[in-house]
Amino acid sequence: MSDHTADGLRGLVATFLRTHDPSGDRTGFLRARFDAGLAWVHHPPGRGGLGAPPHLQAVVDEAFAEAGAPDNRPRRNSIGLGMAAPTLLRHASDAQCRRWLRPLWTGEEVWCQLFSEPDAGSDLASLRTRAVPDGADWVVDGQKVWTSLAHRARWAILLARTDPAAPKHHGLTYFVCDMTAPGVRVRPLRQATGEAEFNEVFLTGVRIPDSHRVGAVGHGWQIARTTLMNERVAIGGRPLPREGGMVGVLARLWRERPDLRTGGLHEEVLHAWVRAEAARLAALRLRQLVAAGQPGPEGSAVKLSFAELSQRISGLEVELRGAEGLRHDEWTMRRPAEPDLLGRTATHRYLRARGNSIEGGTSEILRTIIAERVLGLPAEPRVDK
């Protein structure tokens, strides 16, 4: 059966919709869609897919959207979908995939990422959270930080040290941690915006069954790299129409408010527009490369540019607003369900954008990664390897 064409997949969606009512029970519909292999079409059968080429996912998503079917609210489970799922698919056992992938995709179970620690940020491999074997379990103690969605998450991907004597990149193991387990405490971490998207997570004597270990003991770092590469693509890689991102907010403001225009800011707005459009096309080209089965290192470029642009454009918008740029909406601590860069005030965008060059790998680390892994330049002499 050659369903692995755009028409073939549209046919499968049409058949599916004949037996499943898109206006009926949301969760039931999404579960059935997963079981039919129409969740991630490039996944193998039984794991939400059909083994089809990845670019056909867009065809399937479009066909469901046209039918008014509910989606899985991807922005509410961005870490699960963007980072945990690709890592599990590549490194987890069959039993683990069966347990976790479906509720992850349907959004029934939200995921978070327990990687960074107060003393292990850019130097992630120096993390100190310990996992000690105890019978069929591991007992985990430590502190994690900068954890988005920890307060909503059912599961976490966790990186912990299992061999303190090994060189730092070799002593780590990758686990899935139940966020409802005893000993997991989540505390909101307020940001410069006044919001708390993030959390501190304290792990005290948390028991994780060995069956929730992903990959071999001591292989955590290699597996984490899969997650981190996907994180960088996930942050910058969504397809946007022209002016679809923050530059659209700036361009509309410029058009609607002739009273704010000055010659110098006109130049800056045009520069920002050009740069944003170039970055958008580069992101589009990256998607085309991935769809054609030639994924390249361009994801790092997309992430770097996105951070730089969102900072520059939001700063420009605050300045363009002049006296209005002095006013903020509120400093109340809120727990947003998803990051919102476009919905609130220019001042909020400006403040939130400062995080873009830190989260998911700082821009400095990314430049070093590009220089060493893409361009093949020699590593700096290091004292910790």
Work out the angle between the directed axes of helices 263-291 and 246-256 (0-180°, nearest 10): 150
Q: How far is the CB of 122 from another protein (least distance, A)?
A: 13
Which amino acid would we find at residue 361?
G
Return the residues of window 312-331 that contact another protein according to CB under 8 A: 322-323
The region of 71-79, 113-121, 190-198, 276-284 touching another protein under the rule CB under 8 A is 276-284
Residue 304 lies near another protein (rule: CB under 8 A): yes
Which residue among the candidates 231, 268, 338, 380 is catalytic per the annotation?
Answer: 231
Residue 258 lies near another protein (rule: CB under 8 A): yes
Residue 367 lies near another protein (rule: CB under 8 A): yes
Tell me how many residues contact another protein (CB under 8 A). 47
Cβ proximity to another protein, 58 vs 181, nearer residue: 58
Residue 261 lies near another protein (rule: CB under 8 A): yes
Backbone angles phi, psi at 206, to 5 degrees: -75, 125
Q: How far is the CB of 14 from another protein (least distance, A)?
A: 23
The region of 25-33, 59-67, 247-255, 329-337 touching another protein under the rule CB under 8 A is 247-255
Residue 116 lies near another protein (rule: CB under 8 A): no
Q: Which of 14, 65, 132, 274 binds another protein (CB under 8 A)?
A: 274
Residue 241 lies near another protein (rule: CB under 8 A): no
Residue 290 lies near another protein (rule: CB under 8 A): no
Are 76 and 28 a contacting pair, CB within 8 Å?
no
Are 199 and 143 a contacting pair, CB within 8 Å?
no
Give CA–CA dist 87/97, Å, rounded: 10
Q: What would the two tokens of residue 108 be?
A: 């029934």
In the chain, the DSSP E strands lie at 111-114, 130-134, 137-145, 155-161, 172-178, 184-189, 198-209, 213-214
Are 84 and 101 a contacting pair, CB within 8 Å?
no
Checking 379-382 for CB contacts under 8 A at 24+ apart, the result is none
Q: How far is the CB of 276 from another protein (least distance, A)?
A: 10
Residue 293 lies near another protein (rule: CB under 8 A): no
The region of 11-19, 45-53, 180-188, 272-280 touching another protein under the rule CB under 8 A is 272-280
Give CA–CA dist 33/16, Å, rounded: 8
Q: Which of 181, 189, 240, 251 binds another protein (CB under 8 A)?
A: 251
Residue 269 lies near another protein (rule: CB under 8 A): yes
Q: How far is the CB of 356 from another protein (least distance, A)?
A: 15
Cβ proximity to another protein, 6 vs 282, nearer residue: 282
| Rounded alpha-carbon distances, angstroms, from residue 301 to 64, 264, 355 | 32, 28, 17
DSSP string, 257-313: -GGG--HHHHHHHHHHHHHHHHHHHHHHHHHHHHHTT---THHHHHHHHHHHHHHHH
Side-chain-facing half-sphere of 35: CA atoms under 13 Å: 8
Give CA–CA dist 294/288, Å, rounded: 9
Q: How far is the CB of 303 from another protein (least distance, A)?
A: 10
Q: Is 231 a catalytic residue?
A: yes
Give CA–CA dist 13/224, Å, rounded: 34
Q: Which of 210, 267, 329, 330 binds another protein (CB under 8 A)?
A: 267
Are 199 and 189 a contacting pair, CB within 8 Å?
yes
Return the residues of window 335-364 that contact another protein according to CB under 8 A: 364
Q: Which of 136, 379, 384, 385 binds another protein (CB under 8 A)?
A: 379
Name the site residues for another protein (rule: CB under 8 A): 251, 254-255, 258, 261-263, 266-267, 269-271, 273-275, 277-279, 281-282, 284-285, 288-289, 292, 298, 300-301, 304-305, 322-323, 364, 366-368, 370-372, 374-381
Catalytic amino acids? 231
